[in-house]
Structure 1
Amino acid sequence: MIYKTKTKDFVVYVKDNDAFFKGIFNDFLQYRLNILKVFRSIEDTKVVLIDTPRGKYVLKVFAPKDKKFERVAKSFVKGDYYYTLLKQTDRVISEGLRFPNDFYLLAERKIFNYASLFVMIIEYVEGVELGDLDELNDDVRAEIADKMQQLHQHNMISGDPHKGNFILSADGIRIIDLSGKTPNANRKAKDRIDMERHLGIENELKDLGYYSVVYKKRMRLKIKRIKQRLKLSK
C-alpha cells in the first residue's frame, strides 16, 4: 500500500509507509548518501547505486528540462506517470509477481499536478544484464516470454523490452525499468513486437492491438517517404 506524506517542499509517496526509505530520502536532502557507483549522470538525470544498512538500492533523480509546456499539459490530462508506475508496481507484486524490480519511494516537487523534480528509490537487482551475455539460449527466451505474458495478464507493460531491461539473477529473469503508461492492447502488442526485434522471441499473438501497431507504423513510413519525395522535388 502506498502512503502519502510531505517533507519540506516535496510530496512523498512511500510503499508500506516504511520509515527506512523516508530516512534514505532525508539523507539525500542532507547530502549524506553513501554512493557506491554512478550509473548515469547527464544534465536532467542522475542514477546512482547507494549503500544502506539494508543493502544496495538505486536512487534516481530526474529534473526534466525540455518540453515544459507539454509536460504541464500532460500532467493534467494523463496524470502523474511515476506515481502511476509506483502504484502499478506495488499492485502486481501484491498480486504475486516477484520478477519486476520493486519501487519503494517517490518524492516530487510539485505545483498542483505538475512535478519539476522527481526522486526515486528503487530495488537494485544483482545479476547479469542480458546485453552482457554472448547469446540468449532457448531457456532464457522461454522464461522471458512467460514472464512478459504474466506481466501483461496483470495489466502492466515493460514499454521498452530490450536486453538492458532484463537481469539474469539468482532467482531467474528479473524485469527492470517498467512503464507506468496505460497497458492497453496496442502497448502490449508493441512489447511483443519489440521482444521479437531485440530478443528474437517470436510474437505468436496477432490480435487487434498488433494489427493497429503494424498499420500505424506502415502509415508513418508512407508519410515519411512522401515528405522525402516532396523535399527532393523542390
Structure 2
Amino acid sequence: MQKIAEVVSTLTGTVSPLAFGEKSAIDKTIQTQRQKVVSLGMINDEQADKRFHGGKEKALHIYPIEHYSDWFNRIGSNPVLNNIGAFGENISSKGITEHDVCIKDKIRIGTTLLEVSQGRMPCWKLNVRFNQNNMAQMLQDTLKTGWYFRVLEGGDIGQGDDIILCERPHPNWSIARIMAAVFSGCLDPALLRQLQGLPLVESWSKLVDNRLTTQQLEDWSPRLFGPTGKP
C-alpha cells in the first residue's frame, strides 16, 4: 500500500433550481465533520437527475485541487473558482490527477475502500454554473474532469485523510489515457479493441462497441451544450 495523495475537503450538496427549469446539486459546500459513505455515496449528498448522476458507478466524484490554478489561467477571475467545490466534487484532493490513477485502482480513504470506476463526462450544467457556454467542452478537451469512485466498503471520509493506493490491476491505463482516446474521437480499431478488453463501466463499454461497429462518432452536443447552446 502506498500513500499517493490526501483529502483537502469533503463536500455535499442539496438539490436546488439551476436554469431552464432544471434542478441540480452541483453547488456543494465543504463539510467539517467526517462524512459517512455508503454504496451510493455520501449520505448527506443529493443528485437531481439520477439518470445521469449518482448511482453505484458514480458514487463519489473527486477533483484535484491542482486544477484550480490552471482554470484561473484559462478563464480568468470567476467567482465560482473562489471556493473549493466549483466542479461539484465530493472529494477535493491534493497530490494526484487523472494521469496518476488507473481504471480499477483500489483506493483506501479513511475507513472506506473505493475503486476507480470511470472518468467524468462533463455536461452543460457546468456552462450555467460558470456562466460560460464552453466550460463543459473545456473540461472534456483538457481531460481535467476529475473521476468517479465505486464504493467497495462503506465507512467515513474526512479532511486530511490519506489517499492510499492498495491495488493497481491495470497500470497502463490511466483515467487520462482512456478519456484521451474517447474524447479525441478515436476510431482506430486497434486502440478500440484494447479499450474493449478493459473493465469499463457499461455506458463506456457500449460507446466503444458502437464505434467499432459503426466507425462513427457520437453527437455530444446535447450533453455539452444542452439548452445553453453552442458558444
TM-score range, shorter chain: under 0.3
When normalised by structure 2's length, the TM-score is: 0.27
| Structure with greater helix share of residues | 1
Higher radius of gyration, 1 or 2: 1
